[in-house]
Every structure is written in structure tokens, then in C-alpha cells.
Structure 1
Amino acid sequence: MIKNVAVSDFLDLKGTVPLADVRTPAEFAHGHIPGAFNLPLFSNEERVLVGTTYKQIGREQAILLGFDLTGSKWSGFIREALEKAPDKKIAVHCWRGGMRSGAMAWALDLYGFEVYLIQGGYKSYRRWAHQQFGASRQLCLLGGMTGSAKTKILYELGKMGEQVIDLEDLAQHQGSSYGTMNKMVQPTQEQFENNLADQLKDLDRNIPTWVEDENLNIGKISVPKPFWYQMTSAMQVNLEVGLEQRIEELVGAYGSLDKDFLIACTERIHKRLGPVQTRDAIAAIREDRMADFIRLVLVYYDKTYLKSLGKKEKDKLFSISLDNDHHLENAMRILDFIKTISVNWQA
């Protein structure tokens, strides 16, 4: 049996019904619904052939070509679907809910699957995702100069049951020139947005959600504008942490990284650091004087942060001093702190 279902209704079932994305591997890699698996009807090259035939000759000839290309594949499709959905309950989608997903749904139904066919396909999911970014939320930003351990405190807040969105984790980037940590690979922009929307849908909009204060761009990834605009007008708790404590935190995070990586990243910001600072920072890296290297580049990052902080609405900016690196204790202090202030939540 084939049931047509809206993407929003399917997401309520997510986790109980496996989702087969029958688009090509290239389409899937560019962006897919979180949790979906790829069951491509056509290879990347085959899709081009079918599309060209459709445009140059016509729909019927393209359909015939599609059957020629997939003729020997159908038993493989069914076997893979059985591996993912042994109870024979599965959801299917393509780009617009057209012929590709319709053909796959027909074959699976013929075999005895209960098939949920996503109306509008992946395109409808993308529309749904963008709706999540514009939905009004009670955001609470966690700010502070580089090295304030914001991400670690955010993690502790999440463990304590607070609603948290970790944009740097979703973007797989720490937000600075050194942000890949020489190991992280960023998702595509589209996949980042899909993953963010997937997390946002499960949050209660009527209670605060903690988000680390970020630039619009995190590495090559951009925070969706509607969500970013909410961040710029949200209340912010600014962590005031001493320079030496921040240097110690950053040496622990970056001090063991490959020196060539650190030098290349430093050279990328040489115009902002200045020639003397750049030269001295690179020399410190080569001589394994990591604290000196961190101290030099923090001059630039601190200046940038203070400039950004100056643009915040004063009635939504609250500062708290932290004088230790006990992240759980600091998270608890922050929660106690916001209970003492009058919070002007965004509308």
C-alpha cells in the first residue's frame, strides 16, 4: 500500500520509518534529509542521460530509457530496502515527488512494502527547513573572547537539560582561521541547514535555547539569515575570563596541532595581524612557544570581538566573571545568574 504523506507529517514518524532517498549519489551528497539513506534509482551519469532525453526527445522516450537503465537493478533495490526496513515499512522521496520516487514506491508496494511517499519530495523538505529558521524563538547567546571555553560550557548546559544548539559542531568548524583543527571537514551549506533545521524542530520555542555567539560565517558555512537576525537581537551572557586563563585554554586546544597547519592559518590572516605580529607568531610556532603564539594572535581576535560587542543592544547584554576552568560549575553559575536579571526576550 502506498500512502502519500506531507513532509511535516513524516517527520513526526521519523525514527520509526526508514527513509529512502532515490536521488543520485551526487544529489544526496550535496544535501539530504538527516537520517535518510541513499537508494539511487539512477547513477549520476544515468540521470544526465535521462534528463537530456526528456528535454531533446520527450517524456515517453525518457521513461523508456529509464526502464532500460534500471531493468536489472530492481531486485537489488528491493534487497537493500529489506536490509534497511525488514518489517517492510519504508518512506521514499526524490527531488519533487515525481517519477523516480513514484517508480520506486510502485516496485516496493508490489513486493509487499507499506510505502510512505513524501509529497513534493526533497524540495518540500527544503521549504520546511527554511520555515524553521524564521520561527520566533527565545534565544540566549553565550559570548566571550576567544578562549573563554564557551563551547565546553554550552556542552555542560546541554547535559544539565538546557536547550542547546551548537552551531560550531553542526558546521564542523571552531570559527577562527584555525577552526578546522586540521581534521574537521565541513558539510555542504545545504546539509548544514538541513541538520540545523532537524535540531530546531525538536525544541520548545517558549523556553530559552542557548546558542554560542557566532559570526554570520563559520568557516565556509553561513548561518541562515532569518536565524542569524534572531541571534543579533537576542539577549547575551558575556563571559569575562582573564587573559592568562584564556591562553592556557587555547594552548591546550591548539598547542599540539601540526606546526605547518598553524603557520598556514596564521599566514592567511597576516593582513589583519600585521607584518610584525605575523612574523613573531610564526617564529613562536616554530620554536614551540605556544603560549607566546596564542598571546600574539589574541590581540587581533580580542579587538575584533570587542568591536562586535560594541554593537550589541545594551539592555540585552549581561556580563559575568569566571575565574576558573570548572566548566560544569561555571554553567551552574550562569544559570543562577540569569535568574537574577530581567531578561528582555525577543518577540
Structure 2
Amino acid sequence: MMTSVLESIYSEEYAVVDVRTPAEYEKGHIVGAVNIPLFTNEERADVGTRYVKQSREEAIRRGLELVGPRLAGYVEQARSLDKPLVVYCWRGGMRSSSMSWLFSTSGLASQTIPRGYKGFRKAAAERLALPWQWRVVAGPTGSGKTSFLRTLAEGGEQVIDLEGLANHKGSSFGGIMQPAQPTTEHMMNRIHHAMHGFDVSRPVWVEDESRTIGRVHLPETMFESMRVAPRQILETPLEMRITNLVAEYGQLPLDELIAAFDRIREKLGGDRTKRAIEAVQLGDMHAAVEIALDYYDRTYAFTAKRFEV
């Protein structure tokens, strides 16, 4: 179970400090954590090589040589956060303990996360594996699933916006004008953060998704639970769906819309792809969406069959 330190990581009263390298931080980190890396990516590789090929003592000597001139800078970065600190590295080892000691010695309140980021990941996976009461909102493309979920959230329901967390709307068009996607590792961290404070005895609403959203994979336990969860199917008239999609995608850059149609050319068919691209070029988004839905509706109908009784 989560320790008392882990239970405070999302509190506004604390500043969480990740002292791992920028590359480790980029791959995945506790949501909201500030990166104050003890070593650069290259420095950590150097220290690690010396540890393996020479000795622990040589690795420590080299580490001290590298960070010594930067100690005051670390403290100033931490002090600027103006909150008690929660510090972590990969396994709660020398990096986090050394930096926490430095911060404490400099008069800052500081504590470490037991077992570090690895411990956090284990606790996050355990929480995600609890018997959550998943509820899946399904329906063809353009049905208004995201709006439906937003209304539920405004009404006090527990809702996770998976596409928002993944920075992708799940189709060939879903990444247009979106920020870079998180890694699959960090996606789970984002989900864990989104579920902070959720009550396991109450329903948790999500949109129906495939195993991947763009390039991001959903956590396996979550995806498998969603597959067998009760489903709320939205039955929205075709014309309203087209209107919804034109409003959502109609103002996006034409070259990116054309590229998105090209990505599904093989599945859409050469003639329909050509007509869709011509419609985009002419500004006839209604026609372009109608052609796209021919493919997406067939895909939805195929995947929906697995839920038929």
C-alpha cells in the first residue's frame, strides 16, 4: 500500500523534486514533480561505467568531482520552490538521500520517498489494479462521448479523460495540433494522478478506447477491466455526428487533414481517399467527414460485435 510520504505527493503543501537525469524524467515522472538532476545524462553514464568497471569508491569520487561546484545551485533551485520538499530518485538510493541531506543541511524541510520512483510505480500499479467500478461510454465517432463525460464530471461523477491525458483523440486525425504524447510509462503516471482522491466503491467513467491511443498503450489491467465493464452507448444521429466533427476538426490546417486521410488510404480506399482530399481542398468539410465516417463506422461496427450477447 502507499506510504504516508507517497500519499502527500499530490498535495499543494509540498514540492516534489525528481533528482534523476533529464532522460529518466522525460521517460516518466511523478506528475507535478520538478526536475533538479544531480547528474546530466552523460555524467550518470560516466559514473555508472566507473562503478561497474572500476569500483564504488571511484564512482563516488567522480560523482563528487562533478557535482561539487553545483551544490549551491541545487539548493537555490530547491529553495525557490518555497515549500517542504519530497525528494526521489530511481530506487530511493544515494542520489535522493544525498540531495535530501543537502537540502536539510541548508535549512530546508526535506524527506525522501521510500524505494523512490520504483516504489511509486509499484504503488501506482497496485492502486490501478483495485476493483474499480469501471463504466465505459461508447458510440461511433462523433457521438459526443467527450462532451458526455464532461457533463458527468461537472455533475460530480468520477471521470478520467484518457484522450486528454494521452494528448491524442484516438484516430488518424487525433494527433493534429496536440502537444507531444507522453510515453506509455508516463501515461500510467498521469492516470494515477487523475484518479487521486477517487473512491473505489463509486463508478469511474471512461471513454471506450482501443489498447493504444495514438502511440500510447493503456495499462494492461485497466484495459482488460474496461473490456468487460458495463457500457453506456450513445446513439447520435449521423447528421449530428457530422456536425460535431466538422466543428471539432474543420478549422485544422488543411495539409494536416490531408496527411491524416493519406494515413488511412489503404483502409479507406484510393477513390474515397481522393474524393475526401478534394473535399478538404475545396473547403467542403461536411463531405470529407462523411467519407471518413464510412471507414470509422465500419471499424466501430466490427469492434462492437465482441460486446454483443
Aligned-residue offset at 1:200: 2.3
Partner of 2:34: 37
Partner of 1:190: 185
Aligned-residue offset at 1:174: 0.6
C-alpha distance in 1 between matches for 2:86 and 2:272: 56
C-alpha distance in 2 between matches for 1:271 and 1:24: 42
1:59 to 51, 56, 61: 56
C-alpha distance in 2 between matches for 1:244 and 1:55: 65
Give the gaps of 5 or more residues in structure 2: none
Secondary structure, aligned partner of 1:142: strand
Output the amino acid matched with 2:42: E
Partner of 2:46: 49
Aligned-residue offset at 1:300: 0.7
Give CA deviations for 1:87-140 in whole Å, capped at 9, x if unaligned. Answer: xx2111111111111211221222223321111111111111221222111111
Give CA deviations for 1:269-292 in whole Å, capped at 9, x if unaligned. Answer: 111101111111111111111100
Partner of 1:310: 305
C-alpha distance in 2 between matches for 1:268 and 1:111: 55
- The answer on 1:78 being equivalent to 2:75 is yes
Partner of 1:90: 85
Residue pair 2:17, 2:36 contacting (<8 A) in 1 also: yes
Aligned-residue offset at 1:148: 0.7
Aligned-residue offset at 1:228: 0.4
C-alpha distance in 1 between matches for 2:72 and 2:234: 59
Aligned-residue offset at 1:257: 1.0
Q: 1:71 to 1:7 in 2, by over 3 A?
A: farther
C-alpha distance in 2 between matches for 1:140 and 1:313: 17
Partner of 1:340: none
Aligned-residue offset at 1:11: 2.9
Aligned-residue offset at 1:7: 5.5
Please tell me the root mean square deviation across aligned C-alpha atoms, in Å. 1.4
Residue pair 1:132, 1:200 contacting (<8 A) in 2 also: no
Partner of 1:224: 219
C-alpha distance in 2 between matches for 1:50 and 1:26: 15
C-alpha distance in 2 between matches for 1:201 and 1:313: 33
Residue pair 1:132, 1:201 contacting (<8 A) in 2 also: no
Secondary structure, aligned partner of 1:311: helix
Output the amino acid matched with 1:91: V
C-alpha distance in 2 between matches for 1:121 and 1:137: 26
Residue pair 1:179, 1:219 contacting (<8 A) in 2 also: yes
Residue pair 1:7, 1:118 contacting (<8 A) in 2 also: no
1:160 to 130, 155, 159: 155
Output the amino acid matched with 2:3: S
Aligned-residue offset at 1:313: 5.0
C-alpha distance in 2 between matches for 1:244 and 1:47: 57
Secondary structure, aligned partner of 1:309: helix
Partner of 1:257: 252
1:280 to 270, 275, 278: 275
Output the amino acid matched with 1:22: V
1:291 to 286, 295, 298: 286
C-alpha distance in 1 between matches for 2:249 and 2:196: 34
Partner of 2:265: 270
Q: Which moved more, 1:193-202 or 1:173-182?
A: 193-202
Secondary structure, aligned partner of 1:71: helix
Residue pair 2:261, 2:273 contacting (<8 A) in 1 also: yes
Secondary structure, aligned partner of 1:146: coil
Residue pair 2:163, 2:213 contacting (<8 A) in 1 also: yes
C-alpha distance in 2 between matches for 1:206 and 1:117: 31
Give CA deviations for 1:199-238 in whole Å, capped at 9, x if unaligned. Answer: 2242111111111111111100111110001100000011
2:173 to 174, 178, 199: 178
C-alpha distance in 2 between matches for 1:182 and 1:82: 36
Give the gaps of 5 or more residues in structure 1: 1-5, 315-347
Residue pair 2:167, 2:178 contacting (<8 A) in 1 also: no
Q: State the 4+ residue runs in structure 1 displaced beyond 6 angstroms.
A: none
Secondary structure, aligned partner of 1:96: coil
Q: How does 1:21-36 map to 2 (within 5 A)?
A: 21-36=18-33
C-alpha distance in 2 between matches for 1:19 and 1:139: 30
Number of residue pairs matched by the alignment = 307
C-alpha distance in 1 between matches for 2:118 and 2:49: 21
C-alpha distance in 2 between matches for 1:207 and 1:103: 42
C-alpha distance in 2 between matches for 1:11 and 1:132: 12
C-alpha distance in 1 between matches for 2:262 and 2:231: 32
- The answer on 1:237 being equivalent to 2:253 is no
Residue pair 2:20, 2:39 contacting (<8 A) in 1 also: yes
Q: Percent identity?
A: 40
